[in-house]
Amino acid sequence: MRPRTAVIPVAGLGTRFLPATKAMPKEMLTVVDKPLVQYAVEEAFAAGIERIVFVTGRGKEMLADHFDYTPELEETLRGRNRLDPLQQVRGLVPTAGCLIYTRQNEPLGLGHAIWCARHLVGDAPFAILLPDDLVWSGPEHAPVMQQMCDQFESLQQPMVAIMEVEQQETNKYGILDPLEGSGGNAVLVQAKGLVEKPAPQVAPSRMAIIGRYILHPDIFSLLGKRQTGAGGEIQLTDAMAMMMQKHPIYGFRFQGTRYDCGDKVGFQMANLALALEQAEMRSRLLPFLNTQLGQWSVHSTAS
């Protein structure tokens, strides 16, 4: 059994990117030429996901419009014989019924956002993708959710995508505490425990959970207890830690590069890295970057 439903929480206010996100959802910020949320949707569909549940909030109408038909735009492109952009625009619209929207009426944390999708997910394993985490696997690897679904097909146990972070950054992530002897360089690492945003001096490892999950529906009853954790919010990591009494949980070391697009620097890194993946843009960007680096080198030397 592979997950056929994915939950994508998009209710956040995006305060780190103000004033850009005052009227525009942060998930609609573009990396090169596509909104962040589109990368997540494409990754989900590439993994065989058939239905996506968006957990939204106020002011997210632009997001729904992005994945809908725009007859006026399509007619204009067709009249100007701009067939390539016309095909791109039409490709944004999935089969009817594939996208479902529900509201998170209170900002009570990621765990609460996932709980809001419980009736739409049903009684089957499901995926979660956080758009702020853009994971670029390049042409040489499958998208990360597809990698995870392939593993889940044989494992049939909950899993989270993990990556090593610097020790001083553990307080920004859910951290996996590996079962003794299950770490090393293994692709799958069984968890002994999960800790939400531990201080660096007490973190059990540097294995950070990033925004890709495959979970069993048991998680909803645990989230429904509405127990609060770090930041006074209902934390998904805490509920997963409780779920370990019934299911083992595995960390999955994916192939690809993760960009934290919830952070301004990470967002700019993603734009630059993905722009350089395109030959036409690379040929113009590299001379510019070399010039800029040279100027900064002279400036820093003079300082």
Confidence of residue 86 (pLDDT cuts 50, 70, 90): confident
Task: Record the pTM.
Answer: 0.90
Q: Which residues contact 165 (CB under 8 A, 6 or more apart)?
A: 172, 173, 206, 208
Label residue 182 by pLDDT band (50, 70, 90).
Answer: low
Q: At 297, list the tokens.
A: 């080198």
Is the pLDDT confidence value at 81 over 90?
no
Condensed to tens digits (0 to 9), the pLDDT of residues 23-47 reads 889 999 999 999 999 999 999 999 9
- Identify the CA nearest to 161 among candidates 210, 127, 196: 210
Q: Spell out the alpha helix ranges (H) of 28-130.
A: 36-46, 61-66, 71-79, 83-91, 110-115, 118-121
Question: Cα–Cα distance between 83 and 195 in angstroms, integer?
Answer: 50
- Judge if the upstream peptide bond of residue 19 is cis by omega within 30 degrees of 0: yes
pLDDT of 87 strictly over 90: no
> What integer pLDDT is reported at residue 92 of this predicted model?
78
Q: What is the mean pLDDT of residues 125-151?
A: 94
Q: What residue type is assigned to position 235 of the chain?
A: Q
CA distances 290 to 269, 273, 283, 294, Å, are: 16, 15, 12, 6
Query: Would you state the structure tokens that stand for residue 229, as one six-digit string?
Result: 């954790």
Residue-wise pLDDT for 197-251, tens only, equals: 899 999 999 999 999 999 999 999 999 888 877 677 888 988 998 898 888 999 9
List, as own/partner pairs, every contact residues 39-43 make where C-beta atoms lie below 8 angstroms and the sequence separation is at least 24, other chains included: 39/131, 39/134, 40/8, 40/129, 40/130, 40/131, 41/8, 41/67, 41/94, 42/143, 43/129, 43/135, 43/143, 43/144, 43/145, 43/146
Domains delineated in the chain: 5-164+207-261 (3.90.550.10), 263-303 (no CATH)
Other beta carbons within 10 angstroms of residue 22's beta carbon come to 11
Cα 268 from chain centroid? 16
Give CA–CA dist 243/148, Å, rounded: 19
The residue with greater pLDDT, 97 or 293, is: 293
Q: Is 209 helix (H, G, I), strand (E, B) or coil?
A: strand
How distant is the alpha carbon of residue 279 from its chain centre? 26
Is residue 184 predicted with pLDDT exceeding 70? no
- Output the CA–CA distances (angstroms, integers) from residue 79 to 69, 82, 287, in the order listed: 17, 8, 37
Angle at 244 between CA 149 and CA 137, to 5 degrees: 25
